[in-house]
Amino acid sequence: MDSEKGLFHDLMVVEFASVLAGPSVGQFFAELGAEVIKVESPKTHGDVTRRWKLTSENPSASVSAYFASANWGKKSVALDLSSEEGKQLAYKIIAKADVVLVSFKPGDAEKLQMDYDTLSQLNPRLLYGHITGYGSEVPRAGYDAVLQAEAGFMFLNGEPDGPPVKMPVALIDLLAAHQLKEGLLAGLYRREKTGLGQYIEVSLLASAVASLANQATNYLVTGVAPQRMGSEHPNIVPYGTIYRTSDGKEVVLAIGDDRQFQVLCQILSEPELAQDARFRTNRQRVSNRDALHPKLQELVSRLPQKELLKALVAQHVPAGAVHSVPEALAQPLVQNQLLANGEGKPQGVRQVAFSGPASRHFSISEPPELGQHTWQVLEEKTGVSSAEMQELAQKDLIFPVKSGNL
């Protein structure tokens, strides 16, 4: 491996995906050194997230904060796939590619002639990663908020006496992205053995259900449907429970066994609480959680947050401060996960979170302007002349200006 270029420095990924799930996969490969070419439509002004801006953002900027969450390290090519000329140029690029990422609604890839059957004829080694809402046989677009509702996440999220609540990030999109990364890595391993590419499809629904984890098995084993519990855990107490300290700050406890609970009580200067028949074992604490929480809250409220957390961490009792997003991103251990722009200001977060030689961090480019690399990529990958590109630009089939592309 060329350690200066990344594990996938000789891999080419062509991304036809938009929003979050597919682009997250593209950035993952870019961070590991792959050349990732993001093909965007000039008709629709590119990936829709370019226009999903906060009121505090520059309204004329081509790169929004949302777009920057999943598009570092890529080259943007503005190309009209609905035209024959655009399609043929895309085919020339795909013929040299290793991976294609798409998030077309089922049926749309066939209409555009960008489906796996068509592209695999051009490139038998091609891995075709397709993110759908409900599977390739269901012609229904998938949206994260809808899938959070339909897969049970929204029902489970929220306070017991409150309404269902959506997660504050597009959780199902991110889960599907991880599933597709795994599928493509398995596909690359298979290709090393067989020399053949393959179609890999991941649905938002399947990814969500796979991630219900113990909530799903709790129901399947017992027949009792899980209910909203706020930040409480159905199987462990106190786990996920938030308590307020003497200085008005908040801590969360994640007690996983009886020993940890005993040490917690010692730190709180109430060791006899761990010997109370109602709380001695986790099973008893689960049954008597309503009696335990007020007692713990009273004890926690006697100590300031920093002092309490220092003692808990020193004794290996799982606990942490409840951070705001700025506080979370300011942590020293997080700094290596942040991506900085040309001025050194953090503007993004790495998709690669594992460590080891294969994940060595190196500099990657900022999220691209719409069509920033159109002329460069077409010249390099398709051999089309500048004169021909001028004609395509005049027809609005590619991004219409050359300045800043090279």
173 flagged as catalytic = yes
Smallest Cα–Cα separation from 296: which of 246, 250, 233, 238? 238
Handedness of CA 142, 47, 59, 341 (dihedral sign): positive
First to last CA, the chain: 28
Catalytic member of 173, 247, 258, 276: 173
DSSP string, 163-221: -----SS-HHHHHHHHHHHHHHHHHHHHHHHHS--EEEEEEHHHHHHHT-HHHHHHHHH
Task: Give 34: exposed, middle or buried? Use CB within 10 Å, 0-12, 13-18, 19+.
Answer: buried
DSSP string, 282-331: HHHHHHTHHHHHHHHHHHHTTS-HHHHHHHHHHTT--EEE---HHHHHTS
DSSP 376: H
Tell me the CB-side half-sphere exposure of residue 273, using CA atoms within 13 A.
23
Residues 6+ apart with CB under 8 A from 1: 7, 9, 357, 358
Residue 39 β-bridge partners: 77
The label of the residue with tokens 């953002």 reads: 57
Cite the active site residues. 173
